[in-house]
Chains A and B, each alone.
Chain A
């Protein structure tokens, strides 16, 4: 979906470093989501936000933080507390108030450890 932009496409993290992954959407969607994808484990929910200035933990939130200061943006910070950050990170969004609308994904960011 061209309306969801994730950057960078590839990211490298040094030990003890925090890194931030960007997710921007111009679809006017209220809800946004962050998933982590590891080989053989499918997609696991890290955090989600249904409205500006509000977000909830998903199933694997430890070692991650998010903010939702603008409707269009939902950045994810991978902190040094996340001991195994190497993964493919996917951002998704959907409109709320319309339960029939599915989540649509960005192109992802692949994070690796140096």
Chain B
């Protein structure tokens, strides 16, 4: 089955700096890669996703890049703000066939003033 590794487990940045979270996956059949943000005690919320036919996707301060050859994808947050502090999860899956997702173990991002 699919295995997703996520690094780092914790990340502390100064407000206004950029943050990068990296994930690798093992199954070359995976073609869908969402990122979720989870605040303490709350539900995970989708912030951005990318499909394997695209190398990069951007939405305001958030961008995701995908390298299919190396089987890794990354989340980039620019101009970080205190409200970006949360746990971020990457996931990988195959569209169709149940759309099961395998999640990474999460990155605790702390944006310091």
- A residues engaging B (CB < 8 A)? 1, 31, 33, 35, 40-45, 48, 50, 56, 58-59, 90, 94, 96, 99-100, 102-108
Contacts and interface: CB of A to CB of B under 8 A. Distances in A.
A107 B105 contact: no
Interface in B79-113: 89, 91, 95-96, 98-106
- The interface size bin for chain B is 20 to 34
A108 B42 CA distance: 8
Contacts, number: 57
Interface stretch (B13-21, B44-52, B63-71): B44-52
Interface string B71-82: 000000000000
B53 to A, nearest CB: 11
A41 B46 contact: no
Nearest to A49: B98
Contacts of B51: 100
Interface of B: 1, 6, 9, 32, 34, 36, 42-46, 49, 51, 89, 91, 95-96, 98-106
B78 to A, nearest CB: 23
Nearest to A103: B101
A56 B89 contact: no
A96 to B, nearest CB: 8
B112 to A, nearest CB: 22
Given A59-B1, A102-B34, A45 B100 contact: yes
Contacts of B98: 31, 48, 50, 56
Given A40-B9, A43-B89, A103 B99 contact: yes
Contacts of B105: 40-42
8 contacts: A41-B105, A45-B102, A58-B100, A59-B102, A100-B95, A103-B99, A104-B46, A105-B45
B46 A102 contact: yes
A70 B63 CA distance: 38
A107 B44 contact: no
